[in-house]
Amino acid sequence: MSELNTFSIAARCPRTGQLGVAVASAVPAVGGLCPYIRAGIGAVTTQSWVNPYLAARILDGLAGGQGPDAALAAALATDDRPDLRQLGLVDARGTGAAWTGAGCTQAAGHRTGAGYAVQGNMLAGTGVIDAMAEAFAGSAACDLDERLMRALEAGDAAGGDKRGKQSAALRIVAGEDYPLLDLRVDEHAEPVAELRRVLAIARRQLVPFVAGMPRKHGPAGALPDDVVAMLLKAPAERPGAAADGGAADAPDLLRDVIGLRQEPGRVAHLLRQFAPVLAEIARLRDLDLADIHPPVVFDPTLPYRRGPHDDRRD
């Protein structure tokens, strides 16, 4: 039994019905043990002293018609150490539920809302959970992969796992028995930032491939010619690669753009202090102001235009 001191989010997209989990931790390969998703049923993350069988029992309960709270309670009733467990889940309707056992390493807690459950243990502070929930709620106009990624980034910026960083993962299931996305950073000094880079490449190289895969209730078909042509190229020659000016050669914002060279601990402290500001910026970035104020168009030719009476002579 492994203790995964972790912060995560399980969520559903109300537009597409997609289910997903994003998770990060200071242990390697967190994506291999925490997220469990079943298409059309629900998404579960199990952490702290991990018991994967609880996730399976919760999904079975949801599939059998139980609500999220009932499925969670029934699964925990089968466990001899529920005090050591932490779980978060959403069902196919987006109803969330969560559990944080009294024996989970502090700071620990959870928060549920419309379409999500956020949870974490051995955190730098409870602000990690609030930052994640607010980032997810504030990005409702985005696709699920982006909303999950922003939530994870907000948790990371708020301090994340108080021991440090090591791995991160993002998994999304749509209507098929295979994932739409299953991305993992198993060991990295900045796993959340690396996961963002991998996601940017996957959107341009992997997502088109998955879109052409056989469907459960449709013909097998074949990959589009443009996707085949792309995948026949070497990775460095594909869209999103470093040579294409994609995410692979994106500069480090603090070091390369701002010129701030600080010890990692100092940077983590500053990010924790400014986490509320970063969450508010993420929320404002997604606001549509068109209904509040009409767009202002500046036309530099206006002073030089001839009006209907410009030829009048006095």
Q: Which amino acid is at 111?
A: R
Place of tokens 């699920």: 144
pLDDT of residue 45: 97
Q: How far out from the chain centre does Cα 117 lie? A: 12
Q: Which amino acid is at 81?
A: R
Q: Which amino acid is at 7?
A: F
Provide the residue-wise pLDDT of the chain in tens; the chain has 314 residues.
455 568 999 999 999 999 999 999 989 999 999 999 999 999 999 999 999 999 999 999 999 999 999 999 999 999 999 999 999 999 999 999 999 999 999 999 999 999 999 999 999 888 999 999 999 999 999 999 999 999 999 999 998 877 778 999 999 999 999 999 999 999 999 999 999 999 999 999 999 889 888 888 887 767 778 888 888 888 888 887 764 545 444 555 555 556 655 555 566 566 666 767 776 776 776 666 666 666 666 666 666 666 665 555 54
pLDDT of residue 160: 81
pLDDT of residue 248: 47
Query: Strands 6-12 and 19-25: what pairing?
Result: antiparallel
Q: Report the candidate in 67, 70, 66, 46 with the shortest Cα–Cα distance to residue 56.
A: 46
pLDDT of residue 263: 57
Q: How far out from the chain centre does Cα 93 lie? A: 19
Cα angle value 94/97/98 (rounded, 5°):
140
Task: With 0.95 as the threshold, say if the pTM is over it.
Answer: no
122: left (phi over 0), alpha (psi -120 to 50) or beta: left
Q: Is the dihedral of CA 57, 61, 119, 93 positive or negative?
A: positive
Q: Report the candidate in 245, 257, 152, 155 with the shortest Cα–Cα distance to residue 200.
A: 245
Q: Measured between alpha carbons, how far is residue 285 from residues 13, 189, 197, 229, 275 in Å?
A: 19, 28, 20, 36, 15
pLDDT of residue 2: 53
pLDDT of residue 243: 42
